[in-house]
Chains A and B, each alone.
Chain A
Amino acid sequence: MSTSTLRPAAHGTSSASADSARRLDTSFESWGRFPKYPAHLVPMHWQQEFPANIQGLHNGALPVGMGRSYGDSCLLKDGNLIVTTAMNRLLSFDPETGILTAEAGMTLAQILDFAVPRGFFLPVTPGTKYVTLGGAVANDIHGKNHHVAGTFGNHVTEFELVRSDGSHRRCSRTENPDWFGATIGGLGLTGVLTWVSLRMRPIVSRAIDYEGIQFHGIDEFLALTEEYKHVEYTVSWIDCASTGKNFARGIFMLGEHAQVPGDLKPSSEPKLVFPVEAPGFALNHTTVSAFNTVFFHKQRKPRVQSLQDYEPFFYPLDAVLRWNRLYGKSGLLQFQYAIPWESARQGTIAILTEVAKSGLASFLAVLKAFGDVPSPGLLSFPQPGITLALDFPIKAGLTFPLVERLADMTRDFGGRLYPAKDAAMTADQFQTFYPQWRQLERFRDPVLTSSFWERVTGDRPNL
């Protein structure tokens, strides 16, 4: 299918001046800072603005938020990005039920600032609080409690979806359930979310009862996963630079919201900003190995327990704004798979071995067991089994071949990759991972698309 048919002009009279009045620039980047595509930015401040704000514009549109997706799922080359972050109002909050309704451009950080002093926390949170509510729904994000709570979408009770034809739909499990399912994990393609309702969970303190346990190898990780499957939050950091006796060593981290009433004040603003782009050689095998060794031994004893604030527990990297500059101007490539239990152990060992062999070390590697709470989303990423997230600096001739090999291995083990963290999978790989993509295509708004969607659905013989 050619680009022009995938990107029909929006309704209304075509206006060349409307196009030229907008800036085509590269200031909106994805978090991996690869690829970089120019686009027109269309700031959206009010729910009523869409679809009038793209009337007559050409080359398609895509609603975006904080640009925390790593690859090209939040980009649209030469198209129009509807930036929703200024649309961030609260509509209602009921402390009896915990149901909070807010405009889709509100960030999880803003929700926490409001909710924590009132004794409520997000039902599911990713590793950064700087994502919008709309982005959390569109990517059906997951967190450290997936094994007990499922995905973000599991806690969304209702939302409003506006299409480029001007139609409005309230969607929930009972009202427009097909649109509800297509939009959760629907990568922002089914329409613009104006507001979202979700059920918050009560807390009595900011504190997290934390425990860190060192492990050596995947079998110890699996044993700990089984032993602590009832603990609300579990996640593991894993050293993927080491081989031999230190292969797959890591720290299994557990946490639960403290039961003792404590501080509920809002978080302070982060003060640190990564000031400049690091030079390309800053992250090499030696520095990353050294970091991983220090990280492993920072915890001196095999087991430590402490009371931690939720900020370092959930959002350790948010303390340094723009930390992605550490990867220099060429950016970073994320890679995250979910492999089902049948081959999870074997697949994880094989992929970790392949990474260690490649000489390209991942600075941070995060390992977790997904639970079996079914996601409401049509194209949701999590499935029962093991998920591993890696990030690689982009090195010419090394990173992409490695990631393509890892994607093929993931496919052979029956797993799949996470679109929000991808800039490399082929159309063939994507369509094997998500055969249901054709159903999503039927729900896609004809005016909305993304560079990711064009890339992974590019070869479509039947369309």
Chain B
Amino acid sequence: MNSNNGNGAARSQGEPMKILVLGATSGIAEATCRLWAARGASLFLVARNSEKLAAVAADLKVRGASYVDTAVADLDDTSSHPTLLTHAINSLTGMDVAYLAHGILGDQPRAEQDFVVAEQILHTNFVSVVSMLTWLANYCVQRHSGVLAVLSSVAGDRGRKSNYLYGASKAGLSAFLGGLRNRVDREGVTILNIKPGPVKTGMTSHMKGSEKFADVNVVAKAIVKAVDKRYDVLYVPFQWGPIMFVIQHIPERIFKKLNL
């Protein structure tokens, strides 16, 4: 594998940024990829559904991506991760950014009654991501460069009765990312924890009040900027930072009575 200039995301004009995208057909991931494609990035896209993946890949190619390759995979199968990642990095001939955007909202009421449902949420949103990041972080540490941008959620900042399994999976992820950053930042590797508030996408379109959720393109722009500037944590839209600060500091004896 070629040696890297160590600048990670902030590359010179000539060479396209090489980006691996997991969960590429998710609404936020697709919107982000459109911005990268317009800049001429090289993209390797992974998703479960081949028809959707083909539609996204064609769009990104037309928008100006210098290279687009895809793989259909179910990322719940952690044993396949090393092969998949090797294949992706060979295809891109290197990797500057990995964008981990796969995840499920899950069915909270069912998960309260049925551990199999709860376990599925934890597995997809946490276990599978940890498996990926273990491999990716070691790859980046070896090269002393790279940005690992991971979609977490404000829901991980405090457990609420309306979605605490989703929240728990993201809280676990945030804790993992904090620790991983603490380990690899000194090696030149950036761990970006992206915490979006509710965003208007296919995952949320059935939810009450979803027309008031954040615009996915605004979120995507902020993510592209955060990758360029190598942020540690991104609350997006930005007002979720102070909002979650307040929510995290509500005393438990009051919080437990709230309907959130």
From B49-57, B91-99, B122-130, the one touching the partner chain is: B49-57
Query: Given A23-B208, A45-B202, do A114 and B63 touch, yes or no (CB 8 Å)?
Result: yes
Smallest CB separation, A63 vs chain B (Å): 16
Q: Mark A75-116, 1 if CB is under 8 A from B, else 0.
A: 000000000001001111100000000010000000000100
Given A45-B202, A114-B63, decide whether A91 and B51 contact each other with a Cβ distance below 8 A: no
Q: Which residues of B contact A47 (CB under 8 A)?
A: 51, 55
Identify the closest chain A residue to B25 (Cβ). A46
A132 CB to nearest chain B CB (Å):
16
Task: Name the B residues within 8 Å of A89 (CB-CB).
Answer: 55-56, 58-59
In the assembled complex, the Cα of A90 lies from the Cα of B63 at a distance in Å of 8
Please give, as numbers and ranges, the residues of chain B lying within 8 Å of A92 by CB-CB distance: 58, 62
- A46 contacts B52, CB within 8 Å? yes
How long is the Cα–Cα vector from A103 to B27 in the complex, in angstroms?
16
- In the complex, what residues of A have CB within 8 A of residue B211's CB? 27
Query: Which residues of chain B come closer than 8 Å to A14, judged between CB atoms?
Result: none
B218 and chain A: residue at smallest CB distance: A269
Given A23-B208, A43-B205, A93 and B55 contact (CB-CB distance below 8 Å):
no
| Size bracket, chain B contacts | 10 to 19
Point out the residues of chain B lying under 8 angstroms from A27, CB to CB. Answer: 211
Q: How far is the CB of A36 from chain B (nearest CB, A)?
A: 15
B253 interfacial by beta-carbon distance below 8 Å: no
A86 near B202 (CB under 8 angstroms)?
yes
A93 B202 Cβ-Cβ under 8 A = no
A134 to chain B, nearest CB (A): 16
Output the nearest chain A residue to B206 by Cβ-Cβ distance. Answer: A21
A48 contact set on B, CB distance < 8 A: 51-52
Q: Which of B51, B62, B63, B208 has the most CB of A within 10 A?
A: B62
Chain A residue nearest to B208 (CB atoms) is: A23
A43 to B27, CA, bound (A): 13
Chain A interface, number of residues (Cβ within 8 angstroms):
17
Note all chain B residues with C-beta closer than 8 A to A21: 206
How far, in Å, is A230 (CB) from chain B's closest CB? Answer: 35
Residue on B nearest A90 in the bound complex, by CB: B62
Min CB–CB distance B72 → chain A (angstroms): 15
User: A103–B205 Cα gap in the complex (Å)?
Assistant: 19
Instruction: Tell me the B199-234 residues at the A interface (CB within 8 Å).
Output: 202, 205-206, 208, 211
Tell me if A46 and B51 are in contact (CB < 8 A): yes
Instruction: Report A-chain residues with C-beta under 8 Å of the C-beta of B62.
Output: 90-93, 114
Given A46-B52, A48-B51, A114-B63, A91:B58 Cβ within 8 A: yes
Minimal Cβ-Cβ distance residue in A for B58 = A91
Q: How far is the CB of A434 from chain B (nearest CB, A)?
A: 34
User: Considering the chains assembled together, what is the distance between the CA atoms of A92 and B58 in angstroms?
Assistant: 7
A92 nearest in chain B by CB position: B62
Assembly CA distance A23 to B211 (angstroms): 12
Least CB distance, A412 to chain B, in whole angstroms:
44
**A101, closest chain B residue (CB):** B62
Which residues of A sit under 8 angstroms from B202, Cβ to Cβ? 43, 45, 86
Please name all residues of chain B whose beta carbon is closer than 8 Å to the beta carbon of A23 when the two chains form the complex: 208
Query: A21–B206 Cα gap in the complex (Å)?
Result: 8
A residues in contact with B58, CB < 8 Å: 89-92
Q: Which residues of B contact A46 (CB under 8 A)?
A: 51-52, 55
- By beta carbon, the residue of chain B nearest A87 is B55
- State A153–B198 Cα separation when bound (angstroms): 39
> Closest CB-CB distance, B79 to chain A, in whole Å?
29
* Complex Cα gap A37–B208 (Å): 19
Contact of B59 among A43, A45, A86, A90 (CB under 8 A): A90
What separation, in Å, do the CA atoms of A21 and B56 have in the docked complex?
28
CB distance from B221 to the nearest CB of A (A): 11
Of all chain A residues, the one with the shortest Cβ separation from B30 is A89
Closest chain-A Cβ to B211's Cβ sits at a distance in Å of 5
Task: List 26 contacting pairs A-B, 8 Å CB cutoff, sorted by A.
Answer: A21-B206, A22-B206, A27-B211, A43-B202, A43-B205, A45-B27, A45-B202, A46-B52, A46-B55, A47-B55, A48-B51, A48-B52, A86-B202, A86-B205, A89-B56, A89-B58, A90-B59, A90-B63, A91-B55, A91-B58, A91-B59, A91-B62, A92-B62, A93-B62, A103-B55, A114-B62
Nearest 7 Cβ contacts at the A-B interface: A89-B59, A90-B62, A43-B205, A45-B202, A90-B59, A93-B62, A89-B55
Known: A27-B211, A86-B202, A90-B59. 8 other contacts (CB 8 A): A45-B202, A45-B205, A47-B55, A86-B27, A86-B205, A89-B59, A114-B62, A114-B63
